[in-house]
A and B are shown apart, each in its own frame.
Chain A
Amino acid sequence: MNPTPISQRHGRDPVIQHELLIEARDLCVSFDGRQILDHVALEIMRGEIVTLVGLNGSGKTTLVRALLGLLKPDRGTVRRTPGLRIGFSPQRVHRDAILPMTVQRFLTLATPTPRARLQALLDEVGAGRLIDSQIADLSGGEFHRVLLARAIVREPDLLVLDEPLAGVDVASQAELYRLIAHLRERYRCGVLLVSHDLYVVMAATDKVVCLNHHVCCTGHPRSVARDAQFIALFGPHVAETLAVYTHEHDHRHDMSGEPVPLAGSPLSTETARRSREGSVEDS
């Protein structure tokens, strides 16, 4: 049974459609008396890339697990739009050579899929030649691409990617972010990214949520970078670099490194960016 392509379920116009995919309210989670999440709220719209940043141990993964329903919060609610399909790429998947598993078989664990379509998916994430490889033999970066392919096999409404850059070298990171932005447009899905790597993250992000057990601040990357709480948490140097970086990012680099304007995407226009800039909410 093939799911209806997202493009037929929804209009093609703006990338961000005002359709709420998932909404968390007032989430509280504690382990052994330690408060991990403290009244956290988060919402993700279709077509929106939300990046969750925060230091190690700030509750990012716990929040993701609560959103995915893998963890029952002590308090608060997670509401999903009915029938929401989520594609999830976790931070770590234990790969063991005792389990023989080709990339093709791994992808069909999600849903039975013809090989031709799997090949197309793998080509899309830049892992086309890996279809017959054993997953235990893949490098960290290669496996992350395969995980990404697994996440999109079922044509998700929401992509949740926990630290998709782990084990990916710096040169490939920028490419991976372009890929995520591309997938967002291709599948018209919302994206929740988790990362502690601030620089590259911000480039393709619509909304940053800075987590330190509670939501410190949230908003467009450039305004978050100027936020007092954000600067206090990450230090002025990081914030400064970030502000400069996001400001300059009105182009991308093609394979040879030449800058290419980000035309065609409604997000890339300066007006769209300005319109969202002012909206930083401290809490």
Chain B
Amino acid sequence: MDDFIVRAMLGGIGVALLAGPLGCFLVWRRMAFFGAALSHSALLGVALGFVLGINLSLGILIFCLVVALLLILLERQRMLASDTLLAILAHGALALGIVSVALIEHLRIDLMGYLFGDVLAISREDLVLIYALVVATAIALKFTWLPLLSATVSEDIAAVEGVRITPVRLAFVLLIAAVIAVGMKVVGLLLIVSLLIVPAAAARRVSRTPEQMALVAMLIGVLSVVAGLLASLRWDLPSGPAVVIAAVLIFAAITAWPRRRSRAHYPHV
């Protein structure tokens, strides 16, 4: 296999490993809109990275972290329904991003690559960034898994039991921002949220505990990346959308699978 294909596979798998558990929390906490708002604003990070003269992936990462913090502050205002506010921000930021990238004279980027992913252009530095993040996320989740899960079910009970809600929520949002920033390379800013949500949703049906669901979501994510990239090579498909289609097909297959009527799941019936 060619070098760039190996890098694409490794990068995609790394992002899928990140997206599994974090995507689960995103759906459990009903924050899909939050993820979308964050990813849509990432193009502004490209412009920022260019202006600052740093690695564009790093520019996106920093920008996403900052936007995530701003969104948390905004959410405290209850003036608008949260999904409305997030939709306004998402599309406003995307439009602003496209315009600013077009306005910067010497910035020649592949806009389609940012919108839909360009996994075959993953560089060594990108790989280092992705796997550094995989390690950092694993460490962060080791310490925050239980409080985060407890706060996801009930913030009040968790707080009374001694969980400090704000740091936990902050850590989670920063992790989401990070996975979105690096995941953009694989499936693009318009599709990255689906890489978080679709494997998690597919895993729900076959899981009985949150931990099972996170592991299965990782597995489904990796499968989707491998299948999508192979299909993209074989039939010359755009790689990001091919990965997403693979994930959606797995979701559809699991959802359509006939439910075995087992009382074991409902012992109280």
Contacts and interface: CB of A to CB of B under 8 A. Distances in A.
Interface class of chain B by DSSP: helix
Interface of B: 27-28, 30, 146, 149-150, 152-154, 156-161, 201, 204, 207-210, 212-213, 264-268
Interface residues of A, number: 33
Interface of A: 65, 68-70, 86-90, 93-94, 96, 98-102, 105-106, 109-111, 129-130, 132-134, 137-138, 142, 150, 154, 160
9 contacts: A94-B154, A99-B152, A100-B208, A100-B210, A101-B209, A109-B150, A129-B268, A130-B267, A160-B160
B172 to A, nearest CB: 15
Nearest to B24: A99
Contacts of A109: 146, 149-150, 153, 158
Nearest to A151: B157
B153 A101 contact: yes
A110 B150 CA distance: 8
A154 B163 CA distance: 14
A70 B207 contact: no
A154 B207 CA distance: 27
The 7 closest A-B pairs by CB, nearest first: A88-B160, A109-B150, A99-B28, A100-B207, A93-B154, A90-B156, A105-B209
Contacts of B27: 98
A65 B266 CA distance: 34
Given A100-B204, A102-B209, A138 B268 contact: yes
A109 B147 CA distance: 8
Contacts of B213: 100
B28 to A, nearest CB: 5
A154 B161 contact: yes
A73 to B, nearest CB: 16
Given A88-B156, A88-B157, A132-B267, 4 more contacts: A65-B156, A69-B159, A137-B268, A142-B268
Given A96-B28, A100-B204, A102-B208, A90 B157 contact: yes
Nearest to A90: B156
A100 B157 contact: no
Contacts of B201: 98
A137 B160 contact: no
A90 B30 CA distance: 21
B268 A133 contact: yes
Contacts of A142: 268
A134 B213 CA distance: 14
A105 B154 CA distance: 14
A134 B207 CA distance: 11
B155 to A, nearest CB: 9
A70 B159 CA distance: 7
Given A90-B154, A99-B28, A101-B210, A133 B160 contact: no
Given A105-B209, A109-B149, A133 B267 contact: yes
A70 B210 contact: no
A90 B156 CA distance: 8
Question: A86, A101, A137, A150 — which one has the most chain B CB atoms within 10 A of its CB?
Answer: A101
A101 B158 CA distance: 16
Contact of A137 (B30, B207, B210, B266): B266
B268 A130 contact: yes
B28 A98 contact: yes
Nearest to A132: B267
Given A109-B146, A109-B153, A100 B209 contact: yes
A149 to B, nearest CB: 12
Nearest to A101: B210
A138 B142 CA distance: 30
Contacts of B266: 133, 137
A277 B28 CA distance: 50
